[in-house]
Amino acid sequence: MNNQRLVILLLLIAYIFSPTLFTWIVNPEGAWYRPYIMWVLVIAIAYAVQARKKPS
């Protein structure tokens, strides 16, 4: 149940800040690596959630 709360919270935060993040990512005057920063964060969060699960 704890992991579900974490995922719901992360989805809510992503939904709230998605317009601002999207504008920041696709800004033509921004750095080329901005989309990659977001993907690294998504992968790191997914890894952390999976690592917290107990092996069966």
- Separation in Å, CA 11 to CA 5, 6, 16, 17, 39: 10, 9, 9, 10, 15
Domains of the chain by residue range: 2-52
pLDDT of 56 reads: 61
User: Mean pLDDT in each 10-residue stretch from start to end of the chain (56 residues)?
Assistant: 79 90 86 88 86 72
